[in-house]
Copies of this chain bind each other. A is one copy, B any other.
Amino acid sequence: MSNTMIKSYFDRLWPICRSITGDGLRHSFQILNELIPLELTEVPTGTKVHDWEIPKEWNIRNAYIQLPNGERIAQLNEHNLHVLNYSSPIDQEITYEELARHVYTLPEQPNAIPYVTSYYQEKWGFCMRHEEWLKCPKEGMYRVFIDSDLKIGSLTYGQYLLKGETDEEVVFSSYLCHPSMANNELSGPLVMAALYQRIASLPKRKYSYRFVLAPETIGVIAFLSEFGKQLQLKCKAGWVLTCCGDNGKIHFKESRRSNTLTDRISKHVLSQIQVPHATLPFSVGGSDERQYCSPGYNLPIGSFMRTPYQRYAEYHTSLDNEDFISFSAMEESVEILYQMVLGLELNQAYLNLVPFGEPQLGKRGLYPSSNMPNTDERQVIHELMHFLNWADGEHDLLEIAEKKGVSLFQMALHAKKCEEQHLVKIV
């Protein structure tokens, strides 16, 4: 999926006023379904999902503050963030003082509209640039107008299982609920969609790949309350995708168990690429790894991002917009994740079928015919012998490659040659 195509979807998804429920969310799913065939689940208001309950569904049509002089500010149709997400409806004349109790600004970032939500406590409110709020007169009456409704409805989440040769699953999960934010929202679903297209085009896959897109927290909890037990049995690796569209360095955040296949392949692939990167230990603050790595599930799921949430000033403000991200950074994120997938697909434990003494490689055409090999030939033969020595069924290819300090992809070439010569078999 090209830069241009990612951008065109970004442009269509950007203006929609999403939340954790509602038609904005459904509309967003509909657009993304052109790229990835997500199957949608509607979970009715009031449904118990683990410790939580699906709230009323929220929809909004219009909102603004009318100044004493009649001018309108903080208009929803100017920016989706102007309304406190999940605001209850209101249409009232109030004083500056009353209004002030419902206005959210960032005095330290006066030109940014903050992103504020109140899903589980009924409130109304407006979010504004602090510099704009400072201009509001303290005298005279304001009209506040929010045309929203909170009703019995449902929460929507989507998922798709791309079947492979086995039932063992690799999970990619991202979230859909933040309106008009670029890195901390749209980068996740768009990277996931592009990654889906690359994985789907593989001629064959060992693993099945599950793509989960849901409102953050409550949506993933709803998903897990239905599919979590199954993931406990089948999930072998996975990543939460978040903030993967900016130009910052790649960060892999470990799973709670810290030594799973996800952790191992992520660190290996990152160590082999020329892109700046870092590994973060597991911590509970974050995105939906909070759910996947809750102690009851404790799934082998880490997190893939570029600049982590809360480490960039634009986070959760109107400044997290198209200017902050880069479509080529998103493409690079897709490419690195795809390398991890290819690594998982190639990784195997092999069993040396000629384990007593070394196999005679010469008679199989795997050994240089003279004993004066050049440096490159010697390197190749040493890697191949290293592979055969450690192919004892207890070390997988990833471990064997790391022991030698070469890439899994290179070691896989030796494995293939040995497999063709019946020197090893896959365990």
By a beta-carbon cutoff of 8 Å, the part of chain A in contact with chain B is: 49-52, 104, 114-118, 120-121, 217, 220-221, 224-225, 228, 256, 283-285, 290-291, 293-298, 316, 352, 354-360, 362-363, 369-372, 378, 382, 385-386, 388-392
Copies in the assembly, this chain: 3
Minimum distance in angstroms from A395 CB to a CB of chain B: 10
The contact of A285 among B370, B385, B392, by CB within 8 Å, is B385
A19 to chain B, nearest CB (A): 13
Instruction: Give Cα A228–Cα B256 distance, bound, in whole angstroms.
Output: 41
Smallest CB-CB separation from A106: which chain B residue?
A: B372
Are B51 and A354 neighbours in the complex by a CB distance under 8 Å? yes
> Which B residues touch A392, using CB under 8 A?
295, 298
Contact A295 B352 (CB under 8 A): yes
User: Hey, which chain B residues are within 8 Å of A389, CB to CB?
Assistant: 256, 284, 290, 293-295
CA distance A117 to B352 in the complex (A): 28
Q: Please name all residues of chain B whose beta carbon is closer than 8 Å to the beta carbon of A217 when the two chains form the complex.
A: 358
Within the complex, the shortest CB–CB distance from A394 to chain B, in Å, comes to 9
Q: Assess the A225–B294 pair: CB atoms within 8 A.
A: no
CB-nearest residue of chain B to A354: B51
B52 and A382 within 8 A (CB): no
- Would B291 and A358 count as touching, CB distance under 8 A? yes
- Which residues of B sit under 8 angstroms from A224, Cβ to Cβ? 356-357
List of B residues within 8 angstroms of A357 by Cβ: 49-52, 220-221, 224-225, 228, 291, 294, 296-297
30 pairs of residues in contact across A and B, judged by CB atoms under 8 Å = A50-B354, A51-B354, A51-B357, A114-B372, A115-B371, A116-B370, A117-B370, A118-B369, A118-B370, A120-B360, A120-B362, A120-B363, A121-B362, A121-B369, A217-B358, A221-B357, A221-B358, A224-B356, A224-B357, A228-B356, A284-B385, A284-B389, A285-B385, A290-B385, A291-B357, A294-B355, A294-B357, A296-B355, A296-B356, A296-B357
